[in-house]
Structure 1
Amino acid sequence: MDLQSQCEAMLAQLSERGIDDPKVLAAMKQVPREAFVLEEFRADAYRDSALPLTHQQTISQPFIVALMAQALELKPSDRTLEIGAGSGYAAAVLGRLCQEVFTVERVGDLAISAAETIRKLGMANVHVRFGDGTKGWPAEAPFDAISVAAGGTRVPNALVDQLAIGGRLVIPLGRAADSQKLVRIRKLAKDRYKEDDLGAVRFVPLLPDTD
């Protein structure tokens, strides 16, 4: 099966699993996942599974990328912060859904690679920075949406502060990788929030400081 056929099969599977936002499905179709995986995994680019990257990191499975994108409820005018760029794939998907994406990656080599792949795809609205994701991107705050692609026991205060009133933050929370749940937090007012449980997930830990 060629990559295009594999992509169509992936989209059908996402629909079956509850991804029903047509804008999210269109974004998943528009972004070539094979551009973001290691060459040896290119043939598996559209399998619904995580794939290895360098530095013991992974590119998230398509379902998780789509689920998080759908949960963010993005509008075309939104500005989005992503923590944990990894390969840049999820940031590229988000870039198809909103005005601008700012993504932070703590592994320097991955940040460079993600920025280069995104540049080659001509996505000028996606900005990659090497740094400590737990601190967010203060100079560009506030954000209408924040996506955190790493798990922790709580939401870093900096990210809560950088979320606009009415904004949505999606993050995996749990004390261990095998007990995480994906949570959406809506900032209703300065000190008022609503939390939704989006189901069990497994992510790498959210770590401070840069390598």
Structure 2
Amino acid sequence: MKQLMNTIKKAQPVQCTNCHAPFEIIGNPKRCQLLVCGYCGTVMDYKNDLRALYAYTEVQKPASHLRIGMQANIEGIAFTISALVVYETLQGKEEDWVEYQLYAPNYGYALLIIKDGVCCFLRKTYHLPKPNVWLLKAGDSFLSKGQQYIIDQFSLTRVLHSEGALLDKIKQDKRDKQVFARVGDQCFYSKYNLNKVIYYQGFYIDKQKLEDMFV
């Protein structure tokens, strides 16, 4: 564990351009697009000398005790929370949820989503679903990587808050279309906007067990 922390924390500490609070970049600095200060909510362009882009005026921390820098062993891999994004639903089932970005040296990134009391661990997949999930509706089924899923729900979301070293450039009040599907304890997740579509596959984890795993 100590060796892992030393590996992750090689990135040079930076300061928020607004409140000057120091923090370290967890993850791969070459992949980082935005830095978001956890103290004042300032969003900075990592690729443009930390230029301040905007700020979250109401910093809405997630209800979970999970925070950036905490670690857990998932599937035999030690992951560290490197960033988080809090969403609200604009269309679809009314709920808020938090998406944690995880990082592990030599293994890259994963997602942990906690929504409606349910948790799922996800890795990016390049196996395209057949048929295209974005041409389907809730209750329809599709195949991905040899697994058949049933679509649970579609949602239109808005970003309420983010924090940490983000892989994507999130515009203020960014809207996304998202879809969740499942079969048994397996889950499928996709995000869609005008720029790209990303697909993830993974599995569900008991919420209490999950939170006990992170230290």
Alignment TM-score, normalising by the size of structure 2: 0.29
TM-score w.r.t. the length of structure 1 is: 0.29
Task: Return the structure number with greater helix share.
Answer: 1
Query: Which has the greater radius of gyration?
Result: 2
Structure having greater relative contact order (Cα 8 Å, sep ≥ 6): 2
